Amino acid sequence: MSKDSRHKLGEMLRELKLPGVHANFAEAAIRAEKEGWGFERFLHHVLEVELEQRRQKRLERVLKASKLPVGKTLATLDQAVLPIKVRRQLPALLEGGFVDRGENLLAFGLPGRGKSHLVCALGTELIQQGYKVYFTPAFALVQRLLAARDTYGLEKELHRLDAFDAVIIDDIGYIQQNRDEMEVLFTLLAERYERRTVIITSNLVFSQWDRIFKDPMTTAAAIDRLIHHCVILELTGPSFRAEAAKARMPNEAESTTV
């Protein structure tokens, strides 16, 4: 192929928005000639490269938009320390069917039991399967919704969050809300009910959720919507952080002595 022909081909590929084909066309053509590929195999190869590059770029965009904490992945999750029941539930959750059905996921446990790491790892795996996930600490979400309501933009903000198949609300038990804050959080839960998945971590069991929603009627209504279609994970056992600290203590004491 002449230099002029290659230039025209590059222009056409750019116009067609096929950067992967454009970047790999020359190398693939040389390989095809050496290995005696037919036209169909050559076309399949360059389009396969294009699609894979697009998939990787989309994953990068979706991961960035998810706001998931860096490092809290399935690879860094020590599944051996999870309760047996949770380990048995995990494979089915990783398939993502609960998101397709609009079911919720609630992870309960005292601080340091790995709730946040578990749901973040799950969120990352769901993104790999094509789902859109958004992570937010509960306090940040409440403030975001409240600010939107105060500027008459709550509906628009709920619409933005509706673009995500699953919203992870972390540490809901740490927010002590006033009535306005309680109302915007309840509005989000009601808006997503039976349509979009909510994943929540909490150090408070349901009987203590009146600390969050204050009003008994609103507390009952929120719990009712969440558990109607949901999976519950109970993370029991010792604190991972406390155990890690104990494991470090002999080494630190030894180094201090030396």
Cβ-based neighbours of 139, under 8 Å, separated by 6 or more: 171, 174, 175
Domains along the chain with CATH numbers: 3-65 (no CATH), 67-242 (3.40.50.300)
Give the pLDDT band (50/70/90) at residue 210: confident
Q: What is the pLDDT of residue 182?
A: 84
Is the pLDDT at 1 greater than 60? The verdict is no
Give the pLDDT band (50/70/90) at residue 112: confident
As a whole number of angstroms, the distance between CA 91 and CA 122 comes to 10
As a whole number of angstroms, the distance between CA 237 and CA 258 comes to 34
Residue with tokens 């795996």: 125
pTM of the shown model: 0.81
pLDDT average, residue stretch 43-65: 88
Q: How do residues 72-82 score in pLDDT, each as one tens digit?
A: 999 999 999 89
**Structure-model confidence comparison of residues 198 and 211, the more confident one:** 198
Query: Which range is least confidently modeled, 106-110, 162-166, 218-222?
Result: 218-222
Q: What is the pLDDT of residue 180?
A: 81
- What amino acid occupies position 11? E
Residue with tokens 């105060």: 150
Give the pLDDT band (50/70/90) at residue 179: confident
pLDDT average, residue stretch 124-132: 96
pLDDT-above-70 percentage for the chain:
88
